[in-house]
Amino acid sequence: MLYKTIEDFIGNTPLVRLQRLPGDTSNTLLVKLEGNNPAGSVKDRPALSMIRQAEARGQIKPGDTLIEATSGNTGIALAMAAAISGYRMILVMPENMSMERRAVMKAYGAELVLTPKEGSMEAAIDKARELEGEGVGLILDQFSNIDNPASHSAGTGPEIWRDTSGEITHFVSAMGTTGTIMGASRYLKSQNPAIEIVGVQPQEGRASPVFAAGLRPICQRSTMPAGSTGSSTSPRRRPSRPLASWQRERGSSAASLLVVRWRRRWSCRSR
């Protein structure tokens, strides 16, 4: 198959059935292979979407400088998307990010600005804002940009619905910016409100920005009754920016959908 540009290769990733799993064999678990995207992750979708939509709004044009704070895959995806679209890309990240990630970003032509590891992502975000304030370029802002989840409402969700012939019963996704789970689930729930959405994040380590704001991580679902909004009174570090409207809108809804019953035919996992 001939593709006119590498961006045409983003999306329409395959679903593959998991065959050698213990437990109830009447369940069908499918993995969506987002690693098949050209830069190697699901982040290719929002990276291209954020650039194309900013162009459509007249915010940027080829030759301009883009800025983003990142700790990994989004940076790689944006470096690729910027390279094929004619933009200078500045990526800001903590200095303890892996040399392998840095090498890939540089290979795509991105410029790296490193911040002290003690400051984590908050320091990287602050540095990106500083650069934007100095007039260096425009921050795309994966954490609050509506074009992040919109790319999954337009692509990931419809692809899953199509490839399961509408028989999906559960959607499971890891959470970072929450763009994937919010965007894909918004489409899937519009097709069938009974589909259950399950968000997953590590029990230890940095929480998703949404749940760092006070919602209980969904990975603790075994301790939360069904129907709970997921709110927590335990102290947590708040994100350095207000939650985007799409994150506030869907955060508690996603947290309430945590009881998984693997009884029907289809399930789908995004990774």
Q: Which residues are catalytic?
A: 43
Question: Locate tokens 């970072």: which residue?
Answer: 176
Strand 168-174 vs strand 266-270: parallel, antiparallel, or unpaired?
Answer: parallel
Strand 28-32 vs strand 138-139: parallel, antiparallel, or unpaired?
Answer: unpaired
DSSP code per residue over 47-100: HHHHHHHHHHTTS--TT-EEEEE-SSHHHHHHHHHHHHHT-EEEEEEETTS-HH
Q: How far is CA 190 from the centre of its chain?
A: 20
Write down the H helix ranges in 94-220.
Answer: 99-107, 120-133, 147-151, 157-163, 179-191, 209-212
> What are the tokens at 53?
């939509």
DSSP summary character for residue 254: H
- The DSSP H or E segment spanning 46 is helix 44-56
Query: Which residues neighbour 61 within 8 Å (Cβ) at sequence distance 6 or greater?
Result: 55
Cα distance between residue 187 and residue 156, in whole Å: 9
